[in-house]
Amino acid sequence: MTDAYAFETLQIHAGARPDPATGARQVPIYQTTAYVFRDADHAAALFNLQEVGYIYSRLTNPTVSALAERVAALEGGVGAVCCSSGHAAQIMALFPLMSPGCNIVASNRLYGGTVQQFTNTIRKFGWSAKFVDTDDLAAVEAAVDENTRAIFCETIANPGGYVSDLDALSAVANRVGLPLIVDNTTATPFLCRPIEHGATLVVHSATKYLTGNGTVTGGVVVDSGNFDWSASGKFPSLSEPEPAYHGLAFHPALGAMAFTFHSIAIGLRDLGMTMNPQGAHYTLMGIETLSLRMERHVANAKRVAEWLEADPRVDFVTYAGLASSPYNGRVAHICPKGAGALFTFGVKGGYEACVKLVDSLKLFSHVANLGDTRSLIIHPASTTHRQLSPEAQVLAGAGPNVVRLSIGIEDAGDLIADLDQALATATA
Separation in Å, CA 83 to CA 87, 133, 181, 317, 399: 9, 29, 17, 34, 32
Same fold, 7-286 and 290-426: no
Distance CA 366, CA 45 (A): 51
pLDDT value of position 3: 59
pLDDT < 70 regions, the chain: 1-3
Kindly state the DSSP code that residue 290 receives in the 8-state scheme.
H
Using the CB atoms, write b or e for 17-41: b if 16+ within 10 Å: eeeeeeeeeebebbeeeebebeeee
Task: For residue 188, give the amino acid letter.
Answer: T
Give, to the nearest 10 degrees, the angle between helix 62-75 and helix 277-287.
40
Rounded CA separation 254/237 (Å)? 13
What is residue 387's predicted lDDT score, i.e. its pLDDT?
73
pLDDT, position 370? 95
The number of angstroms, rounded, from the C-alpha of 344 to the middle of its chain's C-alpha atoms is: 19
Q: What is the pLDDT of residue 360?
A: 97
Phi-psi region of 381 (alpha: psi -120 to 50; beta: other; left: phi over 0): alpha
The residue extents of the domains of the chain are 7-286, 290-426
DSSP state of 248: B
pTM confidence score: 0.95
405: part of which helix (H) or strand (E)? strand 402-406
Cα–Cα nearest to 196, from 164, 163, 167: 167
Check: CATH 3.10.20.30 for 290-426? Answer: no
Q: Is 373 exposed, middle or buried (0-12, 13-18, 19+ CB in 10 A)?
A: middle
Cα–Cα distances (Å) from 362 to 357, 389, 417, 423, in that order, read 10, 31, 10, 12
For domain 7-286, the CATH class is alpha beta
Closest CA to 168 of 138, 205, 124: 138
CA distance 65 to 106: 30
Q: Which of 169, 191, 206, 174 is nearest to 80 (CA)?
A: 206
The pLDDT score that the predictor gives to residue 146 is 98
pLDDT at 202: 98
